[in-house]
Structure 1
């Protein structure tokens, strides 16, 4: 956000005191409500707004606190964001990032604990990333922000409880390339 004034964060509760499991608090304090915007809860509407601003040159990072509720924004994601490059003959991009949180927790039930990455991975024009560590989460988020296409970053909520070293400096983890941690 420091390097690109077109990057902004939008979602229900992103500027609140708890900041989506604590992940948006620092940005909200540093950049204020003009660049970290809490919006009313309407997944389809806010995703459409994010897609529209991406098409117009902004770099929105949308935060959906529950992966499950991306289903309410499927029309926007599938029929607009993911297809924009194809509909324009490759001339126009939709650099949208959607952060979606997944993972069970107390009281989550069936509607708050689904893993939908396989569903989204079959949509042409859409990129999906699932970080396996805090290091991956930062690097994939920065790669997604710099990507010309829409990216859904599905973050497991247990990653927020890890305490590993993450470099302060900017770095990226390549989208679309898995990390081999052990051959066999």
Structure 2
């Protein structure tokens, strides 16, 4: 079991590093990640069907260009709806033209009444990652529980999307932390698990 203080310190360091990325560099990084995810999809490395993503919070990499491209490729795309802390996320169908609701933590989410999806592909936000596929999240456990539940119910491919500057030599992990299958940054595409 990792010392919770070590994880908190790593989160603070990772947030400072991510926040320091210049606003002017962010759109190009999002476009590069979109192009890398498109290459993975066109190369047959990503499952067809429903893709789950996220609405960017704070200084997170904006995955919406990648999600819009996946929609163009024929995927249905869902965004998460956060329930109580520590529960799995529910993904509702995202229509970029439809009104959004303000969810828990003030994050935009698809409004009530949108179809619920079960993603076979999940683009995962993070504070930090390492080359073994571990990610450092915010500590609420949403994505770990979501991935655990999705993996129990069948195959899902988890793609961590981040800025290259978010890499750490080793992310502090616990037994419940779920590993990623791929990590995509503006600089490279890392296959972690086959």
The structure in which a higher percent of residues are strand is 2
**Larger % of helix: which?**
1
Question: TM exceeds 0.5?
Answer: no
Higher RCO structure (Cα 8 Å, ≥6 apart):
2
